[in-house]
Chains A and B, each alone.
Chain A
Amino acid sequence: MSEKAIVCKDLTKRFGDFVAVNHISFDVDQGEIFGFLGANGAGKTTAMRMLCGLSYPTSGEAAVAGYNVFKQQEEIKRNIGYMSQKFSLYETLTVKENIRFYGGVYGLSDKQLKEKGDELITKLGLEKEAKMMVGSLPLGWKQKLAFSVAIIHQPRIVFLDEPTGGVDPVTRRQFWDLIYDAAGSGITVFVTTHYMDEAEYCNRISVMVDGRIDALDTPANLKKQFDATSMNEVFYALARTAKRSAD
C-alpha cells in the first residue's frame, strides 16, 4: 500500500482555554515505526486519542488508514489496534479466553480465532500457560500477549501507548522484536515511550513540547540537528523549552 497510514494537518484540540494539542502536522508511512515522544502533559495522549477515534479534534484535519477522523471513526476503529499504558487484558480470564474475546470483538470467525490463537500462543511460547489466568503471568509476558492480541485482527496501524512501562530491559528487547515483526508484516506502528533507547529503534521520531511538534526526523538526523550523541540529549534539549508543567 503506497497510501500513507496517517496524515495529520494542523490537528488541534482545545479544552476551554487550554490548547492540549496545537496545530500538529505529520505523515506516517505504511509499515513505518513512528516514535511519538514528549514529556508528561505535552499532549501525546490527547493526540493519540484523536487519531484512534476516541475524541473529536477541535480543528484541523487527519486521516487514519485513509479514513477521516471526523466522519469515519467506525472505519478507523476497524483498521487499528490499540494497546494502552495500563495493562489491558482481563486478569480473570485465561490466555485463550482473552484471545478469543478480543478476536471475537473484532469480528474474527471461529476458524480464524482458532488458527490465530494457536499461532500466537506458539509464537509467544505460551503453550503451557494457555489455560492459566492472565493475572498469574509475569508482567513482561502479559505485555507481549497484550501486544499480540492488539494486532490479532491484522490492523493497518497499531497504536502503542507506553507499552513497555515497568518492564525489564531484556523483556523490552523481546517486545521490540515483536514490534519489528509486526512492522515487517506491513503493520504501521505508532508508539509513545519514555525510554530513549527505544526511541533509537524507531524509523522516525516526533517530539511534542507544549502541544506542538518541535522536532520530527530519523533518530540519526535528530542527533545531528541537535549536535547530540544520544536521543537522551535531544530529548532534554527540547523538553527544557517547555513552559507547561507536567500533570
Chain B
Amino acid sequence: MKQFMVFVRKEFYHVFRDRRTLLILFGLPVMQILLFGYALTTEIKNAEIIVVDHAGDAASQQLTTMIAASKYFDINASVTSDEDIYKAFKKGKVKCAVVFPIGFGNDLLHGQTAQVQIIADAADPNTAKTLTNYLTAIIGDYQQQINPTANIPMRISPVTRMLYNPELNGSMNFVPGVMALVLMIICTTLTSVSIVREKEMGTMEILLVSPFKPTYVVLAKAVPYLALSLIDLIIILLLSVFLLDMPIRGNIVLLFLESTLFIICCLSLGLLISSVTRTQQIAMMVSMMGMMLPTILFTGFIFPLENMPWPLRVISNLVPSRWFYVIIKAVMLRGLGIGVIWKETLVLAGMTTALLMISIKSFKTRLS
C-alpha cells in the first residue's frame, strides 16, 4: 500500500510539472464548455429578417410587431418590391423574409384562408428550417390571440410544448454531450500518454524489474487521473450551472457515481491504447483523434442517432459516451433515478469491466 502511495505521489508530480498536461486537464474542459455552450448552439438568435408588407393593414402590422419583439428576429428593413428581397438575400445578411399579400387582414377577418409567404435562405438548410419553424410558431400564436374561441379554421391548431427545455435552450443539449466528450478525451489521452511516456523513457522497464506488480502499475496510473477527472467534472458542472444556467434536477450523488463509472471506463480505454502504442505521439493521436470523432458522431448530441442508418446505429452502441449521454441527460435534465437508467448503467459497467480486463491482460502479456 505504501508502495502504491509512493507511485501515486510521483504521478501527481508529473501532472503538476507538465504544462501541456495541465492545459489539457483544465484548459480543455473550460474551453469546450464555453465554446459549445455559447458559440456552437443550434439556436439562432437575432436573425435578420425582411418584412414585405403589401397589405399594410392592422393585422399585418400586429404580426410584424410580434416578429420584431421576438428575440429570434431583428427586422432588417421593410422593402416593398419583390426585387429588393432577392437583392437583400444575395448580399447574404438577410436570412429570412415574410411577405404579406394585399388583403391579408381582410382575408383573416372574413374567415378565409389568409396567406403569408415565408422565404428563407436555404443555402444553410438547418438555419432555414429553424427560422421558418420559429416564424410559424409566432404566426400560430397570433392566430390564437386574435381568435381564441374560433374553432372552425383553427380546429387543428397544434400546441407545441417544448418539454424540459421550454426556451429551446441549446446549451442544455450540448452540455451533457460536451461532458461526455471532454471526460472521454481527457481520460483516454492522459492515461495512455502517461504510460507510453514511461515506455519511451525506459522507466517502464525499471518498474517492471522492480517488485511492484504490473497490475499495480496499471492501477497506480489510473488513480491520479481518476481523481483529476473528478475535479474536471466538478469544474464542468459549476460552469454549466452558474454560467450556462443548466439545471441539475436529479440526484447529485447518482450523477457523480455514474460519471465515475464513465471515467473509469475511459481510463481503461486509455490503458488499452497505451498497451498497443509505442510512442507518445501515436498514443496522443489515437486517443485524441481516434476517440474525438466517434464520440462526436455517435454520442447523439450533435447528430441524432435515430436518423442514422442501422449499421451506424449498431456501431454507435460500441461508443461508451453514447450510453453516458443518455444517463447524464436523464439525471441532469429530467431528474430521473437509477430505475430508468439501469440498463445504460449496466452496459457501461459491462464495457468498463471488459476494457479493464483486456488492458491489464495485454499489459501483462506484453512483458513475456
Contacts and interface: CB of A to CB of B under 8 A. Distances in A.
Nearest to B205: A84
Query: Which among B17, B210, B211 has the highest number of chain A CB atoms within 10 Å?
Result: B211
B211 A106 contact: yes
B6 A104 contact: yes
Nearest to B3: A105
Classify chain B: how many residues form its interface, as a range: 20 to 34
B207 A92 contact: no
Interface string A164-197: 0000000000000000000000000000000000
A40 B206 CA distance: 21
Nearest to A82: B209
A244 interface: no
A86 B368 contact: no
Interface stretch (A1-9, A27-35, A49-57, A206-214): A49-57
B6 A101 contact: yes
Contacts of A87: 201-202
Contacts of A82: 205-206, 209-210
Contact of A90 (B6, B10, B208, B211): B10
Interface stretch (A72-80, A218-226, A232-240): A72-80
Do most interface residues of chain A lie in helix, strand or loop, or is the interface mixed?
loop
Given A93-B10, A104-B3, A105-B3, A88 B210 contact: no
Contacts of A61: none
A54 B7 contact: no
B16 to A, nearest CB: 10
Contact of A89 (B203, B207, B212): B203
Nearest to B201: A86
Contact of A92 (B9, B14, B211, B212): B14
Given A84-B205, A88-B203, A105 B367 contact: no
A166 to B, nearest CB: 14
B91 interface: no
A91 B202 CA distance: 11
Nearest to B5: A104
A44 interface: no
A201 to B, nearest CB: 24
B10 A101 contact: yes
Interface string B302-320: 0000000000000000000
A114 to B, nearest CB: 14
Classify chain A: how many residues form its interface, as a range: 20 to 34
A105 B6 contact: yes
Interface string A60-103: 00000000000000100110101111111111110001001110
Nearest to B210: A105
B124 interface: no
Given A74-B211, A82-B206, A90-B14, A105 B7 contact: yes
A90 B209 contact: no
B13 interface: yes
A55 B2 contact: no
B223 to A, nearest CB: 15
B18 interface: yes
B254 to A, nearest CB: 37
A125 interface: no
Interface string B32-45: 00000000000000
Query: Which among A104, A105, A106 has the highest number of chain B CB atoms within 10 Å?
Result: A105
Given A105-B3, A107-B2, A107-B3, A88 B211 contact: no
A148 B13 CA distance: 22
Contacts of A53: 209
Nearest to B367: A54
A86 B203 CA distance: 8
A99 to B, nearest CB: 11
A100 B7 CA distance: 10
- Closest A-B pairs by Cβ, 7 of them: A86-B202, A104-B6, A82-B209, A77-B211, A78-B211, A88-B206, A92-B17
Given A88-B203, A106-B211, 11 more contacts: A55-B367, A74-B211, A80-B209, A82-B210, A83-B206, A90-B201, A93-B13, A100-B6, A102-B210, A104-B6, A105-B6
20 contacts: A54-B205, A55-B367, A74-B211, A77-B210, A82-B206, A82-B210, A84-B202, A86-B202, A88-B202, A88-B206, A92-B13, A92-B18, A97-B13, A104-B2, A104-B6, A104-B7, A105-B207, A105-B210, A106-B211, A107-B211
Interface of A: 52-56, 74, 77-78, 80, 82-93, 97, 100-102, 104-107, 150, 159
